[in-house]
Structure 1
Amino acid sequence: MTSSAQSRKLIDNQKVDQKISKRLITNKLLHYLLLVCTLVGLLVLAVLIVDTLIKGVGHLTPHFFTAFSSSTPSEAGIKGALVGTIWLMVTIIPISIILGVGTAIYLEEYAKDNAFTQIIKVSISNLAGVPSVVFGLLGLTIFVRGMGFSSLGLGNSVIAAALTMSLLILPVIIVASQEAIRAVPQSMRDASYGLGANKWQTIRKVVLPAALPGILTGFILALSRALGETAPLILVGIPTVLLALPSSIFDQFQALPMQIYNWAKLPQDEFQNVASAGIIVLLIILLLMNALAIILRNKFSKKF
């Protein structure tokens, strides 16, 4: 090897070392930048949670859970809102599971892969990013007012709010269920067909049990979003003060997000503390639901 070739090789090695050095420095800078962004987000979240706990813990008494809302902060409670939220959650669950999982099964197992099916899938994915206010307007028009026919309107009842909230979370449930069903290996389906099972038996006995962890996780997270939404409930016309409990899905009801919203907008400082207590209760419910999603996912993941 001549001296000129050696010098060129040496220069090339130096250039490579310089590029590697620059990339390593860039990686470190981006690493620390992302770390700072994460810490800032966690710090803001921690400050908000601590501030809410300081303001609201003092109001978490037995009376707070057994009393209705009141114009006196010390007498205000969440009985009506808590029971109404349970009614709403219990009504949303069957509607969204049947429609969401059923749609996902059809699109993944039965529908032909053509342009029309692709348009439907893209539309469902886009609906997951639509603001909740739009779904509130849709629910107000279709379910509350019955599209202008008073005899078809459900009013601001539990079922009207549940249908509106189901529309809100259906895209998330459908997409999550599709991904879970798509993740089931084709070999499991082929093995079921080889044993003589038909398509529906294969879906019911093989595909759905294997996809259940992903379906449950997506559903519970979507339900958590629905329970924390306020804008659709405002548009549907859910009352902020109601001194009665619903006895059926066609009755009016209160909901925790609406109750918290009503307390937070009142000028008295004491009501801000009561609103913080309501936020704590809602956070506990959401955290329990997320914990349930993790437990169910781990349980069924080990089983299947």
Structure 2
Amino acid sequence: MSTATTTARAVTTSTIATGKSKDRNLASLIFLGVLWFSLFFGVVVLLALIIDTAIEGSGRFDHYLFTDYEKSIAHEQAQKFSELRGIPVEDLSNHFTGFRGGILGSLWLMITTALLAIPLGIAAATYLEEFADSSTWYNRMIEVNLQNLAAVPSIIYGMLAAAIMGLMGFQFKGIVIGGAIALALLILPVVIITTREALRAVPQDIRQGSLALGATVWQTTRRQTLPSAIPGIATGTILGLSRAIGEAAPLIMVGLAAVQWDPTGFTSKVEALPMQIFRMASSPQEAVQEAASAGIIVLLAMILGMNAIAIIIRNKFQRSW
């Protein structure tokens, strides 16, 4: 009797540990089929949308898409430009529907956002995970607010950034630092949460061994815990930035608009690629809509590139304890 009981417990433990079960009744098969169909349907629809967008914008995958700015000119100006450049009037749309301003503006915004959000997010997560006393009321309040902030609509962060810029005395809102403040507020909860998860994944044995050798808590955190958590921290922060690069709602609230020059500093007026795509996609002109489809693919490639970097970092530096 005891042998049978031990065997049953071992089978149950193995099933729970591996997540596998040989139960193949009708209900489980139907549920499994629905799950696979949902996954298949979602992937097929996504691929269809991407392929359709790529086909619509295929005529604009040229160097003008990356080197020229978005401009609007009158008919007389178009004729003069055509004669000056020796370009047919019908081909001028390629020269006035470029995304150089949006691409450079998004890069400036991402760099500034990273400078604002990543150090602050890592410092806050390190304090909460390694130094804070979870039994105090204010630390418990911070814990609850962090979970709630991750679900706040992105446009609220844009309104908060606009208020911060007003308090700081900026006369113009549509600048690099304004958009970066909005995006940094947006991804800050994500950076803090992912950093805390990475710190929790570090075994306690490492901390205890360092403390047993006479190191302080700060020395242990700086020399042992944080270096061990770098892969998880880097992955989380890059994924947070990849989310921010596709946001348009908070940038609208801080007054970002079309510009026809390259940003040169944190106080330069700036254009964002998602806002430029939205504006051009709403145009009635087919040439502009074609350029918007090409811009969507460019933005998608930037996001996938950042996600790929996060995956590479995770796979290259991930440790198994």
User: Aligning the two structures, in what range does the TM-score lie when normalised by the shorter sequence?
Assistant: 0.7 to 0.9
Q: CA deviation at 1:99?
A: 0.8
Q: Distance in 2 between matches of 1:96 and 1:287?
A: 21
Q: 1:275 corresponds to which letter in structure 2?
A: A
Match for residue 142 of structure 2 among 94, 103, 120: 120
Q: What percent identity do the matched residue pairs reach?
A: 43
1:189 partnered with 2:207: yes
After the TM superposition, which residues 147-166 of structure 1 pair with which residues of structure 2 at under 5 Å, given as runs?
151-152=169-170, 155-166=173-184
Decide whether aligned partners of structure 1 residues 29 and 248 sit closer, same or farther in structure 2, where only a CA change above 3 A counts.
same
1:129 partnered with 2:130: no
Q: CA deviation at 1:303?
A: 8.9
Q: CA deviation at 1:246?
A: 1.3
Q: Distance in 2 between matches of 1:82 and 1:44?
A: 27
SS of corresponding position for 1:252: coil
Q: CA deviation at 1:152?
A: 5.0
Kept after mapping to 1: 8 A contact 2:173/2:256: no
Q: Flag structure 2 segments of 5+ consecutive residues without an equivalent.
A: 1-21, 73-91
Q: Distance in 1 between matches of 2:140 and 2:319?
A: 33
Q: 1:100 corresponds to which letter in structure 2?
A: G
Q: Distance in 2 between matches of 1:116 and 1:221?
A: 29
Kept after mapping to 1: 8 A contact 2:71/2:260: no
After the TM superposition, which residues 74-85 of structure 1 pair with which residues of structure 2 at under 5 Å, given as runs?
74-75=94-95, 76-85=97-106
Q: CA RMSD in A?
A: 2.0
Partner in structure 2 of residue 280 of structure 1: 297
Q: CA deviation at 1:193?
A: 1.3
Decide whether aligned partners of structure 1 residues 56 and 152 sit closer, same or farther in structure 2, where only a CA change above 3 A counts.
closer
Q: CA deviation at 1:269?
A: 2.0
Q: 2:185 corresponds to which letter in structure 1?
A: L
After the TM superposition, which residues 1-304 of structure 1 pair with which residues of structure 2 at under 5 Å, given as runs?
24-71=25-72, 73-75=93-95, 76-114=97-135, 115-143=137-165, 145-146=166-167, 151-152=169-170, 155-239=173-257, 241-302=258-319
Q: CA deviation at 1:195?
A: 2.1
- With normalisation by structure 2, the TM-score equals 0.83
Q: Flag structure 1 segments of 5+ consecutive residues without an equivalent.
A: 1-20
Q: Distance in 2 between matches of 1:27 and 1:201?
A: 52
- With normalisation by structure 1, the TM-score equals 0.87
Q: 2:303 corresponds to which letter in structure 1?
A: L
Q: Distance in 2 between matches of 1:289 and 1:244?
A: 25
Q: 2:35 corresponds to which letter in structure 1?
A: L
Please identify runs of 4+ aligned residues in structure 1 that moved more than 3 A: none
Decide whether aligned partners of structure 1 residues 98 and 35 sit closer, same or farther in structure 2, where only a CA change above 3 A counts.
same
Q: 1:203 corresponds to which letter in structure 2?
A: T
Kept after mapping to 2: 8 A contact 1:142/1:153: no
Q: 1:73 corresponds to which letter in structure 2?
A: S
Q: Distance in 1 between matches of 2:319 and 2:126?
A: 23
Decide whether aligned partners of structure 1 residues 152 and 246 sit closer, same or farther in structure 2, where only a CA change above 3 A counts.
closer
Kept after mapping to 1: 8 A contact 2:117/2:187: yes
Q: CA deviation at 1:22?
A: 9.8
Decide whether aligned partners of structure 1 residues 152 and 84 sit closer, same or farther in structure 2, where only a CA change above 3 A counts.
closer
